[in-house]
Amino acid sequence: MLTLRDVTVRLGGHLVLDHAGASIPTRARVGLVGRNGSGKSTMLKLIAGALHPDTGSVEGPRQTRIGYVAQDAPSGTATPFETVLAADTERARLLAEAEAAHDRHDIGEVHERLAAIGAHAAPARAASILHGMGFDAEMQARPLDSLSGGWRTRVALAAVLFSEPELLLLDEPSNHLDLEATLWLESFLGRYRGTLLLVSHERDLLNSVVDHILHLEAGKLTLYAGGYDEFARQRAERRADAEAQRTRQEQKRQKLQAFVDRWRYKAHSASQAQSRLKALAKLEPLASIIEEQDVEFHFPSPDTLRPPLLMVENAAVGYGGQPVLSRVTLRIDPDDRIALLGRNGNGKTTLARLLCNELPALAGSVTGSSKLRVGYFSQYQVDDLVPADTPIQHMARALPDAQPAVARAHLGRFGFSGEKAEVAVRHLSGGERARLALALITRDAPHMIILDEPTNHVDVEARDALVAALNQYSGAVLVVSHDRHLLQLVADRLILVADGAAKEFAGTLEDYRTLVLTQADSDETAPSKGAAKSNRKDERRAAAVMRERTQALRQAVKAAEADLAKLTRQRQEIEATLNDPAGARDGANRGALMKSHGELSRQVVAAEERWMTASLALEEAEAAPG
């Protein structure tokens, strides 16, 4: 049981948790939800021990192994494969002890513990987790410093999953994942058997993985049973009941007050009025439900263009003259709602940049109306906002020839009315910054909006608002997102970007989910069987995996061989002494030698058995696939 008792936390003078309390059952799978900035990440730091409460306590079982992804991504010359393997600190320590140990008893104990924790299977398991995160064999063997921050964050997540902690704390784990890796993570967490506390705004992830929702609102915690949809239903009912109770109490208060006002100064009813006055004083007011401000915005409607908006015919696109995608043929009409599917690195962003004219076609053609306007939201545009500037300053730069009233009116469509337009970007939430970026890219009422991961760091309510805005928008939409719920509600065409091509996917999003998970299961059965034959790098990596997997067994064989050689040499020395005629005349000494010879013979037999057992185990491990 994990218990928070009367916890209060203030950060920078701001009250984050206000005498909050909750009890999380052992092995519960809990989704921690709340508006951006409500204190969810602070909660995880408290439980991980990285932060201490001002008052109250966080209590849990002693010596619980906690897995928590720190904000700093790993770096250095180690590979992702090596980094993930090192996350199992007990295994790493035992392997080091096996390397340094000389006493056969100590060596035996170390190898027994290695076998108990499944150390021989660890390399294959590490490779499988990294593959699920989108790392092919080549990427698993690259130095961390050669990877982007997003990929290194994936390595950190893979390391935590590999370590199999008893308490797993995950803070927005899908933010740096593509849809395919998010689907794999959803499946993996579904099999996790420890206690899970998951901060996420992915509605489908919360519905499929967790069995409780812990809601953080106004510094207080409330635990609900079920997934996110069940939480939303229960919360709506509670809010309605509380508001009805407050209304009834207010009506009662008004009746009592009316009686007192009328009769308190009348002699014949003064005592009754005084009694009602006391009842009124005892009637503690119920606080009105604090309504979190609904997030609403809408995209400006473009003028009408005749279809098709865009025609791509047998096009190739890439960088430095080298195509990433070839033979792309695609038609986009004004009412299209398209989702691009495919692993990160397959070319989804490259295709998006071709469609918005940021990249030229290397071959083929891309044609559209000369009046076509495209709004392109990149997943990095939020980071490019100037922290010290306000929304109105950003919009003034984007619309240099527009009147201030026009700029303010457009900002108002995205929730930046009045004083909100004058707030510096550094004081805006993640969802507000995303809305500002969307306002900037739609300032000229584009005919097509292309959104590349628009929901990172955006809470559930803001995502729902985005869905509503896209469904009301009259232009074409093309979206890349790992949020399956958003794709299900917005897209009616699916295009799979894979193997250097972009083709229509004939099935539904659920069909695609089944395809991804089936392929992942197949890859886990034989993690790198086909890839190992493809090039020398894969072969070297496979050899490294085999060396790592069999290291403990090779050490056991080596130790048994050394013991056998030492004992055999000692027995031979005694046999030489016994066969010496001079030694045979000393009866007392001969008896001691015979006793030692018998003991050494027994030890030689035991050493031979250890050597045989370790050798057979090594042969089986080297013959095993993957």
- Beta carbons within 8 Å of 119's beta carbon, 6+ residues apart: 91, 94, 95, 552
**Residues comprising the chain, all counted:** 626
CA atoms within 13 A on the CB side of 298: 8
Of 134, 125, 179, 183, nearest in space to 155 by CA: 134
State residue 302 phi and psi, 5-degree precision. Answer: -85, 165
- Percent of the chain, pLDDT > 70? 84
Of 455, 446, 500, nearest in space to 475 by CA: 446
CB atoms within 10 A of CB 581: 6
Helix count (H) and strand count (E) of the chain? 21, 18
- Element (DSSP H or E) covering residue 368: strand 363-368
Q: Which SS3 state, helix, strand or coil, does residue 20 take?
A: strand
| Integer Cα distance of 178 and 483 in angstroms | 9
| Integer Cα distance of 396 and 400 in angstroms | 6
Per-residue confidence band for 456, with pLDDT thresholds at 50, 70 and 90: confident
The secondary structure of 600-621, three-state, reads HHHHHHHHHHHHHHHHHHHHHH
- Amino acid letter at 514? T
Q: What is the pTM of this model?
A: 0.70
Tens digit of each residue's pLDDT (9 = 90 or more) over 44-70: 999 988 889 999 998 888 778 898 886
- Element (DSSP H or E) covering residue 153: helix 149-162
CATH topology agreement for domains 2-232 and 310-525: yes
Tens digit of each residue's pLDDT (9 = 90 or more) over 75-119: 888 999 999 988 888 887 887 877 777 777 777 777 777 777 777
CATH of domain 310-525: 3.40.50.300
Residue boundaries of the structural domains of the chain: 2-232, 310-525, 536-623
- Percent of the chain, pLDDT > 90? 35
| Integer Cα distance of 476 and 446 in angstroms | 9
- Element (DSSP H or E) covering residue 486: helix 484-490
Q: Which of 167-176, 380-389, 417-426, 613-622 has the lowest mean pLDDT?
A: 613-622
pLDDT(256) > 80: no
CB atoms within 10 A of CB 107: 23
Residue 446 burial class via C-beta count within 10 angstroms: exposed 0-12, middle 13-18, buried 19 and up: buried
State both tokens at 215. 């809601």
Options 3.40.50.2300, 3.30.565.10, 3.40.50.970, 3.40.50.300; CATH of 2-232 = 3.40.50.300
| Integer Cα distance of 144 and 73 in angstroms | 10
State residue 299 phi and psi, 5-degree precision. Answer: -90, 140
Per-residue confidence band for 178, with pLDDT thresholds at 50, 70 and 90: confident
Q: Which of 118-122, 471-475, 617-621 has the lowest mean pLDDT?
A: 617-621
Return the CA Rg of the chain: 34
| Integer Cα distance of 462 and 460 in angstroms | 6
- Beta carbons within 8 Å of 599's beta carbon, 6+ residues apart: none
pLDDT(483) > 80: yes
From residue 491, how far is each of 405, 467, 600 by CA, in Å?
Answer: 34, 10, 77
* Sign of the dihedral through C-alpha 509, 514, 515, 516: positive
